[in-house]
Amino acid sequence: MNLHHNDNGWFTEFDLDDRSAFSLEIRERVFCEQSPYQKIEVYDTVNYGKLMVIDGFIMLSSKDNFIYHEMMAHPVLFTHPNPQRVAIIGGGDCGTLHEVLKHPEVQQVTQIDIDEVVTQAAEQYFPELCASNKDPRANLLYVDGIEWIKASKAGSLDVIIIDSTDPIGPGEVLYTADFYQACCSALADNGLFIQQSESPIAHMPLIRNMHHRLLEGGFSQPRTLFFPQPVYPTGWWSATMSAKQALPLDFRQADVARKSFATQYYNEAIHQAALAQPAFFQEALGIPAV
């Protein structure tokens, strides 16, 4: 990956692996800070609202972030029979936290992101994502999420959501069998896990490795869900869900149909459709048709 910010008022992110690029017309850069961990920038765009960029990678825009955040939260929570204790690793922009806290059965959410500057920037430029930060069920920690998971009491969590950056540099360890084993241990017997898993078009080797390493780490039946994400490479994204024991064959469709909160993208039909496995994907993973 590389970043190039053109002089003619366009922000461009180049994906050197996929040999492609994505551009947004910008008005100005409104925030820039080098934290101890990474460089965080926010741009004011012409048509996508605010744009957050970390180390040259697009993280989110005001216009389309709801798709990602809803799909990271609601499919896994509506698949679990009774998700009360949730941990989010990463997610410093707090959008996934906001969606998780819409579920009344959730009693406690711990969000662990090592970089508080990300949350500070989100509070200033994406306040809608941080609307639930003061919820009494929320606990925001700024520590190493990997070490936090390893130190967690066995069986203490119902759902783990890995809202991570791309699997390069420090983020690589979040995609290893050792990390997955620590997550598996922290989950209760019916616990569920979900992690963003990049583009099925551009990053199929990563997804295939994730499936194998989840199994090595003690999880069963990894299942990848698909959804659009315009500002990410190829515009088509995924999240991979797995279970400590057995992934439920269905989700709580009746609860989705009568949910007490509004969503912009997620609904019962979207959940069902996201579970459909493309033929090329099944072939690449070497799994039978589902």
Question: What mean pLDDT is predicted for residues 263-290?
Answer: 90
Predicted model pTM: 0.95
pLDDT score at 249: 80
**Identity of the residue numbered 284:** A
The answer on pLDDT for 167 being more than 90 is no
- The string of DSSP codes covering 85-106 is EEEEEE-TT-HHHHHHTT-TT-
Contact 46, 126 (CB under 8 A): no
- Give the pair of three-digit tokens for residue 211: 């499936």
Q: Which domains does the chain have, with CATH numbers?
A: 2-61 (2.30.140.10), 65-285 (3.40.50.150)
pLDDT tier, 290 (very low <50, low <70, confident <90, very high otherwise): very low
Question: Cα–chain-centroid distance for residue 234?
Answer: 17
Q: What is the pLDDT of residues 177-232, one digit of tens each?
A: 899 999 999 999 999 999 999 999 999 999 999 999 999 999 998 999 999 999 99
Query: Using 50, 70 and 90 to split pLDDT, how confident is the model at 166?
Result: low
- Give yes or no for residue 175 having a pLDDT over 80: no
Higher per-residue confidence, 19 vs 103? 103
Task: Give the type of residue at 265.
Answer: Y
Pick left, alpha or beta for residue 213 (phi over 0 → left; psi -120 to 50 → alpha; otherwise beta). Answer: alpha
Mean pLDDT estimate for the chain: 93
CB 42 within 8 A of CB 50: yes
Rg (CA), the chain: 18
Question: Model confidence over 114-143: pLDDT tens digits?
Answer: 999 999 999 999 999 999 999 999 999 999
Q: Give 51-98 pLDDT, tens digit per residue.
A: 999 999 999 999 999 999 999 999 999 999 999 999 999 999 999 999
Tell me the C-alpha distance between 259 and 253, whole Å. Answer: 10
- Pairing type for strands 10-15 and 2-5 reads antiparallel
- Nearest Cα neighbor of 92 from 60, 66, 45, 67 is 60
CA angle at residue 22 from 17 to 28, to 5 degrees?
Answer: 130
Reported as type and span, the H/E element at residue 47 is none
| Whether pLDDT at 164 is above 90 | no
Residues marked as catalytic: 163
Span 103-116, average pLDDT: 97
pLDDT at 1: 47
